[in-house]
Amino acid sequence: MNGPLLAVSGLSKHYRRAGKMVAAADDVAFDIQPGQTLALAGPSGSGKSTIARLVLRLIEPDAGNIRFEDADFLALGGAALRARRARLQMVFQDPLAAFNPRATVARVLDDPLRIHGIAERSERPRRIAALLERVGLPTELAQRAIHEISGGQRQRVAIARAIATKPSLIVLDEAVSALDVSVRGKILELLLDLQREEGIAYLFISHDLGVVRAIAHRVAILDGGRIAESGDARAVIDVPRSAIGKALVAAAPKLPAPARTAS
Amino acid sequence: MNPLLSIRDLTVRYDSRHDKAPALRSASLDVSVGERLAIIGESGSGKSTLALAIAGLLPRPARIQGSIDWFLPLDGKAPLGGRDIGFVFQDPSGSLDPVMSIGKQIGEVIRTHLGLGRRAARARAAELIERVRLPDPRAVLNAYPHQLSGGQRQRVAIAAAIAAGPKLLIADEATSALDTIVQAEIVTLIRQLVAEDGMTLIFISHDIALAAELAQRVAVFRHGELVEVGETADIVTKPRTAYTRSLLDAHLGLDAAPLLDLTPPVPA
Ligand SMILES: Nc1ncnc2c1ncn2[C@@H]1O[C@H](COP(=O)(O)OP(=O)(O)OP(=O)(O)O)[C@@H](O)[C@H]1O
Ligand SMILES: Nc1ncnc2c1ncn2[C@@H]1O[C@H](COP(=O)(O)OP(=O)(O)OP(=O)(O)O)[C@@H](O)[C@H]1O
Ligand SMILES: [Mg+2]
Ligand SMILES: [Mg+2]
């Protein structure tokens, strides 16, 4: 591959809501390089999840292009689309909603291995154990039901499932927003480890600018379906130029200074 | 300050195969009328359990020991959810009916508890939608939950919780899904409601900075136990426990050291 991993241009999606048109995504363009993290930040309703769903082809755009791994992603169908989907995975905020809560962890991890023909039936239990280990979970967890494990453990399972098919890009929509700070810190470390070791790129959606600044290479700030500004994550968040960027940064809650120990 | 409720030695157990330890162990806490109290602590520490116990909303198999005494003119009756206590649930989709329009859901609360007619209820619902800063209130009233973004749904849940003018508002991670601007607006709104309507607030959050901005007192929970409780400034600047210290250190503020290994950003 010689271009970016993902190149999006002119992407638009409108919704009709109670008789009015809402521009959920409006002429959006961005690139993601292999092994890099692009964060999408922006106020509630600015179109972050819509863009995630468009990139994953869970919904179809009104207009625009999506190139993924040098292929016209929107033109793919059938077997070619299925094959390419293995390279583009997702993790959402609430894994309970994404999984059948009664399914076991083993079952959740078995699905992608089977569907994408990644491992023979006899080999899969070993693969599942390896995936659990990779995301820092005890292998005994495989036999538990999804509703019997904690939120942080569930999010690790969701990441294990996402990496099962050896993706080049994972879309994470508010994937750490529901986690407490200590669990969140560990999950972020895990994501950075996976990126370093397997070269995975992330489209990382979060309204938490502190998290974005800590883990993303670049950030695009959305407002009303449009990109208001984009650039190096720390540069943009430290000195935002757009009105919305400034407002988001100014409104972030801050701890009084003496609270922090030097790190 | 006048007491609103007094919790003594509250222990809550869920019947669960994997979990023998109580979800809440011997917690004692007083809440005053008109105060803003934050409850923080790691996942599974018992925050929601405490909130549900106060609101009388614990699921059936849960067993309670200890006492929760109310100082409200209730004639010996338990406070009523919706009317006396507004509750914003951690999972906003759980508190909204997917097949009912937003206007109808909020209107329903108003009609049940305030006895208003259909038109008056709708007008009040529109007012509430504006109060939680949802854009285009008219369109939102006619919309269904799936047509709103996550943060928009959360604001609807807050509007429904305050619809009947409750004495106590319990917000369980109510602003965690919101961007900082709306979050700051909701925080201002909640302050206003407390100040103007004489409401009392119990605010549950993972975000210690947000909790510190909103609350006068902070209670820290861990493994079902109350670790410490005190004035916000004291908890945040001189915590008495290592656990509270670790929560403060794990906060990723805008000035935190990045986790990502990067050469310094190229100046633009
Ligand atoms: N199925 C739908 N029908 C109608 N409108 C929709 C639909 N899905 C999203 N929208 C609207 O599109 C806009 C963008 O929504 P989106 O969910 O992408 O926002 P978001 O940036 O992810 O917000 P949040 O931070 O609250 O999750 C919002 O105004 C939303 O109400
Ligand atoms: N309905 C239930 N049945 C059985 N166990 C439960 C139930 N609800 C909570 N628990 C358990 O009780 C303990 C306390 O849970 P609780 O939901 O009160 O924690 P929390 O502090 O609100 O956590 P979070 O920050 O993740 O929301 C946990 O061990 C949890 O697994
Ligand atoms: Mg979203
Ligand atoms: Mg909870």
User: Which CATH number fits the domain that encloses residue B46?
Assistant: 3.40.50.300
The CA distance from A112 to the nearest CA of chain B, in Å, is 28
Q: Is A46 in the pocket of ligand 1 (CB under 6 A)?
A: yes
User: Which backbone phi and psi does B44 adopt, to 5 degrees?
Assistant: 80, 10
The residue whose CA is least distant from atom 29 of ligand 2 is: B44
Point out the least confidently predicted range of A86-100, B59-73, B223-237. Answer: A86-100
- Identify the pLDDT of residue B266: 44
What are the domain boundaries of chain A?
Answer: 90-166
Cβ atoms of B112 and B154 within 8 Å: the answer is no
Cβ atoms of B68 and B53 within 8 Å: the answer is yes
Shortest-distance atom of ligand 2 to CA B41: 21
Segment B213-239 shows an average pLDDT of 95
Contact status of A182 with chain B (Cβ, < 8 Å): yes
CA A52 to chain centre: 8
Q: Which of A44, A93, A232 sits opposite B178 (nearest CB)?
A: A44
Joined tokens for residue A173 = 């929509």
* CA–CA distance, B183 with B164 (Å, rounded to integer): 22
- pLDDT higher at A242 or B88: A242
- Identify the pLDDT of residue A263: 42
How many other C-beta atoms are found inside a 10 Å radius of the C-beta of residue A126? 11
How many other C-beta atoms are found inside a 10 Å radius of the C-beta of residue B199? 20
* CA–CA distance, A211 with B254 (Å, rounded to integer): 8
Q: Is B151 in the pocket of ligand 2 (CB under 6 A)?
A: no
Is residue A160's pLDDT more than 90?
Answer: yes
- Identify the pLDDT of residue B158: 87
A174 to chain B: closest CA residue: B177
CB contact under 8 A, B236 and A216: no
- Identify the pLDDT of residue B267: 47
Residue positions counted in chain A: 263
- B22 CA → ligand 2 middle, Å: 10
Is residue B264's pLDDT more than 60?
Answer: no
CB contact under 8 A, B265 and A234: yes
Chain A residues touching B251 at Cβ < 8 A? 181, 210, 255, 260
Scanning A23-82 for CB atoms below 8 A from B yields 37, 42-46, 49
- pLDDT higher at B164 or A54: A54
Is residue B6's pLDDT more than 70?
Answer: yes
- Identify the pLDDT of residue A96: 67
- pLDDT higher at A177 or B130: B130
User: Which backbone phi and psi does B191 adopt, to 5 degrees?
Assistant: -55, -45
Reported as type and span, the H/E element at residue A136 is none
Mutate: best of B260, B262, B263, B266, partner A, most A CBs <10 A: B260
Is residue B18's pLDDT more than 70?
Answer: no
- Residues A121-136 have pLDDT tens digits of 999 999 999 999 989 8
Shortest-distance atom of ligand 1 to CA A222: 21
- Residues A30-39 have pLDDT tens digits of 999 999 999 9
Task: Please state the domain count of chain B.
Answer: 1
Is residue B258's pLDDT more than 90?
Answer: no
Is residue A230's pLDDT more than 60?
Answer: yes
How many other C-beta atoms are found inside a 10 Å radius of the C-beta of residue B191? 14
The residue whose CA is least distant from atom 17 of ligand 1 is: B149
- pLDDT higher at A56 or B266: A56
The CA distance from A83 to the nearest CA of chain B, in Å, is 30
Is residue A8's pLDDT more than 90?
Answer: yes
Instruction: Determine the structural domain holding residue B259 and report its residue range.
Output: 1-79+205-263
Q: Is B142 in the pocket of ligand 1 (CB under 6 A)?
A: no
- Identify the pLDDT of residue A1: 67
Q: Is B207 in the pocket of ligand 2 (CB under 6 A)?
A: no
Segment B167-176 shows an average pLDDT of 88
- Token look-up 């709104």 returns B189
The CA distance from A9 to the nearest CA of chain B, in Å, is 23
Q: Sheet of B200-204: strands edge to edge? A: B85-88, B168-172, B200-204, B36-41, B217-222, B225-231
- B47 CA → ligand 4 middle, Å: 6
- Identify the pLDDT of residue B262: 62
The CA distance from A253 to the nearest CA of chain B, in Å, is 5
Segment B186-203 shows an average pLDDT of 86
Is residue A95's pLDDT more than 80?
Answer: no
Report residue A58's pLDDT band, with 50, 70 and 90 as the boundaries.
very high
Asked whether this complex has an ipTM greater than 0.90, the answer is no
Segment A34-55 shows an average pLDDT of 95
Segment B212-232 shows an average pLDDT of 95
A195 to chain B: closest CA residue: B260
The CA distance from B209 to the nearest CA of chain A, in Å, is 5
Cβ atoms of B219 and B226 within 8 Å: the answer is yes
Shortest-distance atom of ligand 1 to CA B151: 26
- Identify the pLDDT of residue B265: 43
Is residue B19's pLDDT more than 80?
Answer: no
- A45 CA → ligand 3 middle, Å: 7
The residue whose CA is least distant from atom 25 of ligand 1 is: A44
- Identify the pLDDT of residue B76: 67
CB contact under 8 A, B177 and A207: yes
**B255 domain-assigned:** yes
Shortest-distance atom of ligand 1 to CA A48: 21
**Most confident stretch, A182-196, A233-247, B124-138:** A233-247
**B159 domain-assigned:** no
Best residue among A11, A16, A17, A172 to mutate for probing ligand 1's pocket (most ligand atoms within 8 Å of CB) is A17
| Exposure class string for A71-83: b at 16+ Cβ within 10 A, else e | eebbebeeeeeee
Residue B148: name the closest of B171, B132, B161 by CA.
B132
**Most confident stretch, A234-248, B94-108, B203-217, B237-251:** A234-248
The residue whose CA is least distant from atom 16 of ligand 2 is: B46
How many other C-beta atoms are found inside a 10 Å radius of the C-beta of residue A43? 24
B172 to chain A: closest CA residue: A178
**B102 domain-assigned:** no
- Residues B69-103 have pLDDT tens digits of 998 877 667 787 778 999 988 766 667 888 999 99
Mutate: best of A36, A150, A156, A207, partner B, most B CBs <10 A: A207
Report residue B16's pLDDT band, with 50, 70 and 90 as the boundaries.
low
SS3 B56: coil
Q: Is B150 in the pocket of ligand 1 (CB under 6 A)?
A: yes
Is residue A218's pLDDT more than 90?
Answer: yes
B194: left (phi over 0), alpha (psi -120 to 50) or beta: alpha
Mean pLDDT of chain A: 91
